[in-house]
Structure 1
Amino acid sequence: MNLNLLLDNLTNPALLFFLLGIIATRLKSDLEIPPNSSKFISLYLLFSIGFKGGQELAHSHFTPAILWSVIFGMSIAVLIPLYCFFILKRKFSIENAGAIAAAYGSVSAVTFVTAVAFLEIQKYTFGGHMVAVMALMEAPAIVVGVILMRMYSKNSASETSLSSVLKHSLTNGSVLLILGSLIIGLLASEQQAMGIKPFTTDIFKGFLAIFLLDMGIVSGKKLNDFFKSGWFAVAFAILIPLINGCVVAYLSQLVTTEVGNRFILAILAASASYIAVPAAMKIVAPKANPGLFLPMALAITFPFNITLGFPIYLSVILS
């Protein structure tokens, strides 16, 4: 069963386009995505993720369990990058530590989709509001990552107040776009949302594939930096998701009794973003090296979760 999940995801077009980008750079091909197009695609992905999350939230009937799940999920998205940052900055630059921490505090939509398939095989259901929880967990980690980079960067004035840092973080273009899109998606009616569905939904996977091709090209050019990071990056990319997933799998019983919802919360905590955060960091922290955080999230954490992580987190929940 886990082998089937692994094989399915190894043939996922988005993942294969990422690998194509790496291969292209190793072959010294002149393949590249124009910078302006790359920035547009980054903004589009943030917009689409936020808008669809707002729509899912609008269609959910609010109950105390949903509210607590949202609060729990957003709390996870704040706490994980906080503690990760202080571990990471011992080995990496402030920019790289902030970007990696944000990636591991945020979530992976592809891991989420794979987790849904895993639950279907196991005959468990989950609430539709968990899609909204996933979208709501994107922004807090980005905000925390930006705040930490601003606070600890040598280029920032030491007297900079936390309120000004927070204001700067929340008004940053990428963060404002995903939060604003979520609110707009929440306010828009279903009929209004259908009017732009071809743009927000139908072409999403195509743009995602091109975005990951671009990220593969960028990562391939800087892959040597990842190898130079040695055992620490690899160990972090396996152990941190394992710890996060197991802890949340156990603590999630405090907010919901549904096995499927608890499993989704565990997966969201264990996953690492390689869509929203890389798109945001490309704009927020251009000095952060995607050759570090992107391979960690996509090449190590993602395969680990879909092969070994899923059954481990589920066994914690059922124990």
Structure 2
Amino acid sequence: MYEIILQNLLSPVVLFFLLGLIAALVKSDLKFPKALSETLSIFLLVAIGLKGGIELSKYSFQEVISPVIATLFLGSLLPIVALLLLKTIKLDTKNAIGLAATYGSVSIVTYGAAISFLDHVGTSFEGFMNAMVVLMESPAIIISLILLKVLDSKENRSETYIPQRLAFSSPATSFLDKDVLKEAFFGKSIILLLGALLIGLVAGDNAIPVIQPLFIDLYSSVLILFLLSMGITAGERLPEVKKHGPKLLLFGIVMPIVGGTLGVLVGSMIGLSIGGMTLMGVLAGSASYIAAPAALRTSVPEANPSIYLGLALGITFPFNLIFGIPLFYQFASWLGTL
């Protein structure tokens, strides 16, 4: 286990993230232009979607139905698990819902780093796992907003204006609000992933000669640049997280371990390979900082972004990058030998 963690720590992907983190902590003037960060993000989303679609075209419906069900199950379960853990630290409802949505959804960059890790250690995985990233984005957001509606109803049961507060026209409490649904199903990350996935699925292997020079050959290099940018962002968010106490910081470490363990177990139950189980653990153990925050800005404006974004970027993302991915891989390897 120590060798795996050390090997991951010394990979260029992690080292460039740490470089960005250090740059932010020492208040260096190193900055990434917003347009460049956005471009790198779009590149990664399209690359993963295309590769997932091409690989998915090689499988029959019967082969992917179990992973699809497992992914939707995890996306629906994880927000509930997060809320149960947050109940122990008595976080207010709105911020708890924000964290539930964030930790139930998925980090596309953590997933990309996990793919690089598996390539580095020479472990293959099912190609359709890239498609599961798309499916993991929305369920947690929808489930979290439903839970918010239920909790608000419970808290305000005795008040005479309950019908007005629970009306579907209220963006803060209604999971049927059109802006919420738009962000949950048609936000930029989802539309890019799903669109690229469908294009790859339709084109199949015929697309490889066209996309390989940019989206396959340069993938690892672009990921390095993006993680340098993310390291800077994470370092800037870290002081915000510290203000909320050690219990919240602990949640940022415990939740990915719990979620990742559930993901690996579910992957084992549906018969995935060691690489597939690892990626299912990464999907369940990561925290979104793109799709979920975009939806939360519309649906739960009272939730503090410095909490759900700061915790996801400042604590969970570096934890998964350094320790989480090797931990899920080791657990998957152990299950694979049983």
* TM-score > 0.5, shorter chain as reference: yes
Aligned to 2:73: 75
Please report the TM-score for the alignment, with normalisation by the length of structure 1: 0.77
Secondary structure in 1 matching 2:138? helix
2:83/2:96 contact within 8 Å kept: no
Pair 1:119–1:95, CA change in 2 (3 A):
farther
**Deviation at residue 10 of structure 1 after TM alignment:** 0.9
**Deviation at residue 208 of structure 1 after TM alignment:** 1.9
Pair 1:261–1:298, CA change in 2 (3 A):
closer
2:45/2:192 contact within 8 Å kept: yes
Aligned to 2:322: 303
Q: Is there any run of 5+ residues in structure 1 with no aligned partner, and where?
A: none
Between stretches 137-146 and 202-211, larger displacement belongs to 137-146
Secondary structure in 2 matching 1:188? helix
Aligned to 2:188: 173
Match of 2:311 among 273, 284, 292: 292
Aligned to 2:203: 188
Q: How does 1:1-319 map to 2 (within 5 A)?
A: 2-58=1-57, 60-62=58-60, 64-85=62-83, 87-88=85-86, 90-91=90-91, 94=94, 98=98, 101-103=101-103, 105-106=105-106, 108-115=111-118, 120=123, 126-133=125-132, 135-140=133-138, 143-144=141-142, 147=145, 157=171, 160=174, 162=176, 164=178, 165-252=180-267, 254-256=269-271, 260=274, 263-264=277-278, 267-268=281-282, 270-273=284-287, 277-280=288-291, 288-289=305-306, 290-315=309-334
Aligned to 2:161: none
1:147/1:166 contact within 8 Å kept: no
1:99/1:145 contact within 8 Å kept: no
Deviations 1:49-105 (A, max 9, x none): 2222111111x3316343212221232133213432564485378468536743454
Which amino acid letter does the alignment assign opposite residue 184 of structure 1? I
Secondary structure in 1 matching 2:289? helix
Deviations 1:210-260 (A, max 9, x none): 22222222222221122333332443244333333444444555533x553
**Deviation at residue 32 of structure 1 after TM alignment:** 0.6
Please report the TM-score for the alignment, with normalisation by the length of structure 2: 0.73
2:275/2:329 contact within 8 Å kept: no
Of all paired residues, the percent bearing the same amino acid is: 26
RMSD (CA atoms): 3.8
Give the length in aligned residue pairs: 308
Between stretches 242-251 and 224-233, larger displacement belongs to 242-251
1:23/1:220 contact within 8 Å kept: yes
Pair 1:265–1:301, CA change in 2 (3 A):
closer
